[in-house]
Amino acid sequence: MTLLKVENLKKYYSSGLFRRQVNRAVDGVSFELERGKTLGLVGKSGCGKSTLGRTVLRLLEPTAGKVFFEDREISGLRGRELKKLGTEMQIIFQHPEASLNPKMRIYDCIAEPLRIHGLCGKEAEKTRVLELIGGVALDEELLFRYPRELSGGQLQRVVIARILGLKPKFIVADEPTSMLDPLVQAQILTLLKKLQQDCGISFLFISHDPAVVEWMSDEVAVMEGGKIVEFH
Ligand SMILES: Nc1ncnc2c1ncn2[C@@H]1O[C@H](COP(=O)(O)OP(=O)(O)O)[C@@H](O)[C@H]1O
Ligand SMILES: [Mg+2]
């Protein structure tokens, strides 16, 4: 069943004098993504992968085109509806630090989205946080540390635990392991695959590394200059 459908999506950036210089970062992209499947997105740096991922999630406003999530057009959603969508669609960035508040203990980093979205009461919260940290195979002891006291791989696991608390249906993983050493990279990729099997999450998996994308994906889209030039 189709979870996400993207139709002729465009995102242009304007810059320069009178904003007359236009960069067609995403220039007419269409694809469909099934429930529980992974579409890999590969291409050289600067070809528009991150812009596409963010525009699909409405973190950037599209210049043109449509995005349907569960058969509903989300390109025009506002306010509360957009906020609700913000739990179902998530993003994992290359730098996990960017998603975590350095002043919060790991426990609070994971509990924060549950609080913001009112997903569990104070008592249930502790149980849920322990469940989530266990789900990404991290020791409970880390819950009382701060982000700077964890390794890159551990931080990326914390980010994943934090996101999973919201029970997302769709995740954009934007080069989630590019900063990690190969062994840790393999562990995180295996974890993402396992979570997908357990929870039926769909992924748009972005990487500049063709080997990683091939391994992770059911289908691969190759991007060049803002367009998808090949599916395989
Ligand atoms: N906020 C922005 N403002 C203007 N141009 C941008 C912005 N973000 C990215 N770009 C440009 O858009 C193009 C695509 O960038 P990006 O989506 O980051 O590519 P990738 O993720 O494939 O490396 C690049 O030419 C980049 O310089
Ligand atoms: Mg990028």
- Give the chain's radius of gyration (CA, Å): 18
The sheet with strand 2-15 has its strands ordered as 21-34, 2-15, 64-69, 72-73
Per-residue confidence (pLDDT) for residue 50, from 0 to 100: 98
Mean pLDDT (10-residue bins), the chain, 232 residues:
97 87 96 98 97 96 96 86 88 94 97 92 93 96 97 96 96 95 94 94 97 97 98 98
For the chain, how many structural domains are there in total?
1
Tokens of 189: 């990729």
Query: What is the rounded CA–CA span in Å between residue 85 and residue 172?
Result: 14
State how far the alpha carbon of 20 is from the alpha carbons of 12, 14, 47, 97, 197, in Å.
Answer: 11, 6, 21, 35, 47
Which atom of ligand 1 lies closest to the CA of 53?
17
Tokens of 148: 């700077």
Per-residue confidence (pLDDT) for residue 15, from 0 to 100: 87
Pocket test for ligand 1, best of 9, 13, 14, 47 (most atoms within 8 A of CB): 13
Per-residue confidence (pLDDT) for residue 151, from 0 to 100: 96
Range of the domain at 209: 2-231
State how far the alpha carbon of 136 is from the alpha carbons of 20, 187, 192, in Å.
Answer: 47, 10, 9
Query: What is the rounded CA–CA span in Å between residue 205 and residue 42?
Result: 8
Tell me how far the alpha carbon of residue 7 lies from the centroid of ligand 1, in angstroms.
Answer: 20
* Bridge partners (DSSP) listed for residue 9: 29
Pocket test for ligand 1, best of 15, 23, 55, 63 (most atoms within 8 A of CB): 23
Residue 219 sits in a domain whose CATH number is 3.40.50.300
